[in-house]
Amino acid sequence: MVIAMFSFTHYGHAGSLTISDPKLVEKIQKLINLGLRIELYSILILLLLDEQTQCQDNENRSLIQLTEKYKVNKASVRLNNGETLKIV
């Protein structure tokens, strides 16, 4: 079973979030392979801050604007098979 782990800093505090839902992990793996950082960041924000309605407004924002808005930075995602992508 493949799992995904987000690592991040939120307001200066380090944290991590592990995902084992197969469908979500598959989606994350596809986004990693495509290098789609904004989409990965939106997933992290959705899971971490429960900002579903806000994420819909993020489509026209840059990654820098999103990090300023949510104060989540130094974010990366890693799969247990070794695939890693630095998001911010």
Contact 5, 77 (CB under 8 A): yes
9 vs 26: CA distance, rounded Å: 24
Edge-to-edge strand ranges of the sheet holding 84-86: 13-19, 4-10, 72-79, 84-86
For the chain, 88 residues long, give each residue's pLDDT as a single digit of tens. 789 999 999 999 999 999 999 999 999 999 999 999 999 999 999 888 876 555 556 677 888 898 998 899 999 999 999 999 999 9
Which of 75, 84, 68, 82 has the alpha carbon at shortest distance from 47? Answer: 75
pLDDT at position 55 is: 57
pLDDT at position 48 is: 87
pLDDT at position 30 is: 96
